[in-house]
Structure 1
Amino acid sequence: MSGLKLPARLRMDGARAAWAQMSPALRAEAAQVLAAAGREVRLSASALTDFDSSALSLLLSAGRQCTEQGATLKLDDAPEKLLELARVYGVAELLWPTSAQSV
């Protein structure tokens, strides 16, 4: 499976740098997944402990980038606080389209 992981800290002051690192990795991972006849790019959020709403922006951008390449982003092991933040901002369904309530 994928080795893509979110960092432990993802706040406004580091979001641009995190995206600069993540975007090419996502692009490469999507290309590998699609070449193997897959469709799902997996991203682990298990290490994410210190974050703000910029994490949601980064995740939405990641999802959009995957979609543009013909893949879907699957976020694994999201902390409950991230799920709640996504619900408050009204984007939970965009990040977890299958069942935002049960994630």
Structure 2
Amino acid sequence: MATLRLPERITLREARSVLDTLGAELSGQPSGPAVVEVDASALAQFDSSALGVLVGLHRRAATAGRACRLIGMPPRLTELARLYGVSELVALGTQGAA
């Protein structure tokens, strides 16, 4: 299974470059696995922009015929996803949330 790792920090300042970097990693992978794992366990400092990155990754994966499975989602990010109404989208397949 392919794994994309979120950085320690995603705020408005970093969001675009993080999405571009992870999107390029996703595009550069062989067509192989139908599921791409997104590891959020390192994410320590973030704002709602992190949700935009996750939604963007989800869309790019779907365009490539893949699905995203989130692991290690911080509880505060899970709460933000609920607040913004995107919890079903970004939490689809979430495992290992601490």
TM over 0.5: yes
Cα RMSD after superposing both structures:
2.0
TM (normalized to structure 1)? 0.83
More strand by share: 2
Which residue of the other structure, out of 50, 73, 91, is the alignment partner of 2:86? 91
Which sections of structure 2, spanning at least 5 residues, go unmatched?
none
What letter corresponds to residue 63 of structure 1 in structure 2?
H
Match of 1:18 in 2: 18
Match of 2:56 in 1: 61
Which sections of structure 1, spanning at least 5 residues, go unmatched?
34-38
Q: Which runs of 4+ in 1 moved over 4 A?
A: none
How many residues of Structure 1 are paired with residues of Structure 2 in the alignment?
A: 96
More helix by share: 1
Query: Which protein has the larger Cα radius of gyration, Structure 1 or Structure 2?
Result: 1
Between the aligned residues of both structures, percent identity stands at 35
TM (normalized to structure 2)? 0.87
